[in-house]
Amino acid sequence: MSASEPIPMLDLKAEYALFEPQLTQSLLGVLQAGQFVLGPQATALEREIAQYCGVGHGIGVANGTDAIHLVLRALGIGPGDEVIVPSFTFIGTSEPVDYTGATPVFVDVDPRTFNIDVDAAERAITPRTRALIAVHLFGQCAELPRLKALCDRTGIALVEDCAQSIGADFAGKRCASWGVAGCFSFYPSKNLGAYGDGGMVVTQDARLAEEIRVLRNHGSRARYHHHVIGYNCRLDEMQAAVLRVKFAHIDQLNTLRREKAHGYNRRLAGSGVITPHEHGQGTHVYHQYTLRHPKRDAIRVALEAGKIGAMIYYPIPLHRQDVYAARGTPVSLPHSDAAAAEVLSLPMFPMLTDAQQDRVCEVVASAAKDC
């Protein structure tokens, strides 16, 4: 590989090349079958992912934001209610709370894992709290046993935002199986990515599953009979067909990500950057490989000069976003602020090569030394 060849943040073409024959066959099958919405591909994927997570029900939806929204709606959450959300996450975690008319209550994160701080979450509980959304950020589970115990004790619903964590577990129990429901995003860049938008809710609760099935399909149990005002947010057959091909290999793909992450750790040891912390109580599936350094902007500039992709997930924590900050009641969430100021995500995808990792790390180490 030449020193000037760009290294992307994510290489979806390499992944496509790996699965091309199966993808073509699977997509052709949908075209030939002529059923594009609420068909056998989506139903099969729902069964496969629910089974993989160890729960009874899967409901395909249009994206990960809708997955969270429909869970909150099905739980009956609405105006006057509060939902606890970590501040250091993508806004797709909190928007659904606002859709319902409830209020997101932002809390701080653990500075090592970037996942919700359980003690801070406990302090944020009020008589209005109805749910807590745990985000398994960058592919590592939040402290699920403690969160579940807290939610069970206080009678609030634990909802898992698994957008970045398909295949991750805590103490051998998969994410999405701890809370009342787990919500997946199949946005193309995710560990399991569609070729468009997609999402899924999985749950062990048959009643909740049924409610979500109705809500995703115009509030309809039987065609043209509408019991509630629902939505049009179904997972389509083309996306489900793509996802089924990739899902069959999800564990291998996640293992490759872990290998790349550990390869980065080895190369960056002693460089002065803080490499990702694995809490050691489950599998981290490295949706992102996110390091920390007080001068991360200088490292980013050096990577850019070397035509190497790097991203800041996330530059502004949710409590500081205009839309939320304008609501008043300022909160102090120092760990979320510090994370937003110091994180930098490096290229991460299963087909990343050794030579690419060598070059990324040379640039990172040299820039960190000069800081």
Ligand X SMILES: Cc1ncc(COP(=O)(O)O)c(C=O)c1O
Query: Which residues make up the interface to ligand X (CB under 6 A)?
Result: 63-65, 89-90, 92-93, 135, 161, 163-164, 185, 187, 197, 199
Least distance from ligand X to the Cβ atom of residue 141, Å: 13
Q: Is 371 helix (H, G, I), strand (E, B) or coil?
A: coil
Least distance from ligand X to the Cβ atom of residue 173, Å: 20
Least distance from ligand X to the Cβ atom of residue 270, Å: 31
Residue with smaller CB distance to ligand X, 276 or 306: 276
Return d(Cα 9, Cα 250) in angstroms, integer: 19
Residue with smaller CB distance to ligand X, 63 or 217: 63
122 with 148: CB under 8 angstroms?
A: no
Number of residues in the chain: 371
Return d(Cα 160, Cα 163) in angstroms, integer: 9
Residue with smaller CB distance to ligand X, 64 or 230: 64
Residue with smaller CB distance to ligand X, 58 or 306: 58
154 with 84: CB under 8 angstroms?
A: no
Least distance from ligand X to the Cβ atom of residue 363, Å: 26
Locate 259 and state its tokens: 């290998």
Least distance from ligand X to the Cβ atom of residue 12, Å: 15
Residue ranges of E strands in the chain: 57-61, 82-86, 103-107, 129-135, 157-161, 169-170, 173-174, 181-185, 199-203, 289-292, 343-346
Residue with smaller CB distance to ligand X, 110 or 161: 161
Diameter of the chain measured on Cα atoms: 67
